[in-house]
Amino acid sequence: MNLRAIDLNLLPIFEAIYAERSLTRASETLHLTQPAVSNALARLRAALDDPLFIREARSMTPTPAAEALIGPVREALTRLRSGLGARARFHPGTSQRVFSVAMGDVAAATLAPAIARRLVAAPGLRFNIVQIERAKVAHELAAGGVDFAVDIPVVARADLESAPMGRSARYLCALRRDHPAARGKLTLSRFLALQHVLVSSRRSGRTALDHALAAVGERVHAAMRIAHYHAAFEVVKASDMALTAPHSIAQQFDVVLRPLPFAVPSPGFHLFWRRNARHDPAHVWGRQALLDAAQDYEGQRSSKR
């Protein structure tokens, strides 16, 4: 393909549509009108002879050609931004940068408050916290769909870098206030006799609780599986179901918390980012803000012990 036939100004628009999956949100991110973004996409479609994005429900789904293109485009734009950033330093107090961060309920509950405190001095910056299936996180990072991801260390690729974000979570059993099992010691037999609500963003597969019990040759009766902890705690408060949850989230709800009669190993969270963005000044600031937020949480956690 002749590169001269493509207006390179269209590439940041392509990147924004890929990241936002919406012409409206892409136009807001780019500070352009929606007709201008639509016209840019039409020009790219004509130049590349591919639709690039297919409208499905309320989302713009990338075609295989777009999936193949986003990596090289993102890398080229990152290198260009890094080069320009060497001359024009990043100023968080005036920047309008949007950071997209993939993380689940547990990480968001611990990190989001500390991130919010950092945004007081950077009113133009924005952190979009999204939830992505773990199997897709590495691809979304590499393709530029998200800038960062907070997850357990199973997310790893040669083109990604990572850093630990703190100690493992401590899990407890949550029960409603007047639950019969809330009185006395919670033994393994009593725990296994309960009905349980499990929390997982995935449709199927083992949870941390499933792995812990499998190690001792046991399993629970899972009466319900929910994607988010807040909904799961509402179930606990309205029923006889039990929920195994990290202390960082469980302490926020009006429930009885009991130590588990077995250990639930947790590898702790890591922060992941694209290797080719490591020197981008804005990216460096966003990365450090997330690591500092984790450090703040660890400091508060230690002071309560």
For the chain, the structural domain boundaries read: 1-88, 92-168+267-305, 171-259
Distance, in Å, from the CA atom of 93 to the CA atom of 85, rounded to the nearest integer, reads: 16
Cβ atoms < 10 Å from Cβ of 269: 25
> Superfamily for 171-259?
Periplasmic binding protein-like II (3.40.190.10)
Is residue 87 scored above 60 in pLDDT?
Answer: no
Question: Regarding the domain delimited by 92-168+267-305, which CATH topology (the fold level of the hierarchy) does it fall under?
Answer: D-Maltodextrin-Binding Protein; domain 2 (3.40.190)
Predicted pLDDT of residue 8:
78
Does the pTM of the predicted model rise above 0.75?
A: no
Is residue 175 scored above 50 in pLDDT?
Answer: yes
Predicted pLDDT of residue 59:
86
Is residue 2 scored above 60 in pLDDT?
Answer: no
Start-end of H helices in the chain: 11-20, 23-30, 34-48, 64-85, 105-118, 134-143, 188-193, 208-214, 229-237, 247-250, 281-303
Is residue 3 scored above 60 in pLDDT?
Answer: no
Does domain 1-88 fall into CATH 3.40.50.620? no
From first CA to last CA, the distance across the chain in angstroms is 62
- What are the tens digits of pLDDT across the range 246-275? 888 898 899 999 999 998 887 678 999 988
* Strands 195-199, 256-259: pairing kind: unpaired
Is residue 291 scored above 90 in pLDDT?
Answer: yes
- Judge if 1-88 and 92-168+267-305 fold alike in CATH terms: no
